[in-house]
Amino acid sequence: MPYTTYLVEKGASHSFVAEAKPPTVTMPRIKALMTGSLPGFVDVIRNLNSPALLEDSVIRQAKAAGKRIVFYGDETWVKLFPKHFVEYDGTTSFFVSDYTEVDNNVTRHLDKVLKRGDWDILILHYLGLDHIGHISGPNSPLIGQKLSEMDSVLMKIHTSLQSKERETPLPNLLVLCGDHGMSETGSHGASSTEEVNTPLILISSAFERKPGDIRLPKHVQQTDVAATLAIALGLPIPKDSVGSLLFPVVEGRPMREQLRFLHLNTVQLSKLLQENVPSYEKGSHPAPAKRPTGTAQKG
């Protein structure tokens, strides 16, 4: 992926290795990315027929704020967020032998939607790489071809966003991530290093980078994505999120803004603790000093 590699090594970007907690299957991982919470193993059962997501999420907050969201790809998103997209086209992940049409059905929308100005958030969930893993494993010769295809898709999106920025005062944010990895046999669901380590790259002209600035990818939690996206979009952090703001993303901002973002994250996590930890002390102030002995007081 030469274009993506260039952006990671020299471009205006921040890259991370995001740890996904098991179960490393699609539906729980989408929930983790959008809510910042940790779904349980009961979600493995729901993975094939996902019910609508009732928890607070970045998607819910974005819709409430009037943001127009467009989605193309894995239909799991449509099941989780049935009334949140102004436009969508879901693709079934059931036929794992198909690693071509599932992605073509996403990419065919790109040229038109990138030219339009009637959306605020665009979500694309490609399936081909996952399907190749299931068919012939991570060392399949088909993997390289698919990664090259995905690199071209990222380049198309990034160059389009760059050209649009000339017309708008605010910078765009492009996020590239995986919901899970794959084992040496091409499967996923468990907790091997290959299954839980996922790529996370945030790309924006807001991330200034000087020549020779080498940034090694830090290890973070997949649940950190929700808090970071919420703050980047000016939205409330989902109330059940256990994630932390990815601080490198805001390091270039004025100190006052950095402190405000950290304060928002702290207040949200504090409320979560108060609601879920019985022993959490809401007011851990020292007891008031007693009056000196001998002072007359009425009972």
For 242-260, how does the pLDDT look when each residue is reduced to its tens digit (9 = 90+)?
Answer: 999 999 999 989 999 999 9
In this prediction, residue 76 has a pLDDT band, given cuts at 50, 70 and 90, of very high
- On the question of pLDDT at 44 being above 50, the answer is no
Report which of 231, 232, 228 is spatially closest to residue 244, judged by C-alpha positions: 228
- Residue 291 to residues 141, 285, 288, 295, 299, Cα–Cα distance (Å): 80, 18, 9, 7, 14
- On the question of pLDDT at 42 being above 50, the answer is no
Residues 6 or more apart in contact with residue 33 via CB below 8 angstroms: 177, 179, 222, 225, 226
Phi, psi for 240 (deg, rounded to 5): -95, 10
Average pLDDT on 177-196 reads 90
Dihedral over alpha carbons 151, 5, 31, 113 (to 10 degrees): -40
pLDDT given at position 281: 66
Lowest average pLDDT, out of 27-36, 62-71, 110-119, 285-294, goes to 285-294
pLDDT given at position 276: 85
In this prediction, residue 282 has a pLDDT band, given cuts at 50, 70 and 90, of low
The rounded Cα 87 to chain-centroid distance in angstroms is 20
Which tokens go with 226? 């929700």
pLDDT given at position 104: 95
**Contact of 223 with 29, CB cutoff 8 Å:** no
- Residue 22 to residues 19, 57, 58, 245, 276, Cα–Cα distance (Å): 9, 20, 21, 22, 22
Average model confidence (pLDDT) for the chain?
89
- On the question of pLDDT at 60 being above 70, the answer is yes
- Residue 44 to residues 32, 47, 177, 190, Cα–Cα distance (Å): 13, 5, 21, 11
- On the question of pLDDT at 172 being above 90, the answer is yes
Residues of the chain above pLDDT 90, percent = 70
In this prediction, residue 292 has a pLDDT band, given cuts at 50, 70 and 90, of very low
Highest mean predicted confidence (pLDDT) among 19-33, 180-194, 283-297? 19-33
pLDDT given at position 296: 39
**Contact of 21 with 201, CB cutoff 8 Å:** no
Of 276 and 124, the structure prediction assigns the larger pLDDT to 124
- On the question of pLDDT at 196 being above 60, the answer is yes
Average pLDDT on 144-148 reads 97
Of 299 and 193, the structure prediction assigns the larger pLDDT to 193
For 206-244, b/e burial (b = at least 16 CB within 10 A) is bbeeeeeeeeeeeebbbbbbbbbbbbbbebbbbbbbbbb
- On the question of pLDDT at 43 being above 50, the answer is no
3-state SS of the chain: helix, strand, coil percent to 5? 40, 15, 45
Parallel/antiparallel/unpaired status of strands 218-221 and 13-19? parallel
- On the question of pLDDT at 173 being above 90, the answer is yes
111-123 confidence digits (pLDDT tens): 999 999 999 999 9
What is the assigned CATH class of domain 2-275?
Answer: alpha beta
pLDDT given at position 189: 79
Average pLDDT on 145-174 reads 94
This model's pTM is above 0.85: yes
β-pair partners for 13 = 203
- On the question of pLDDT at 297 being above 50, the answer is no
Average pLDDT on 58-71 reads 98
Average pLDDT on 33-57 reads 74
Domains of the chain, by residue range, sit at 2-275
List own/partner pairs for 87-91 with CB under 8 A and 24 or more apart. Answer: 87/119, 91/127
The rounded Cα 296 to chain-centroid distance in angstroms is 63
User: Other C-beta atoms within 10 Å of 197: how many?
Assistant: 17
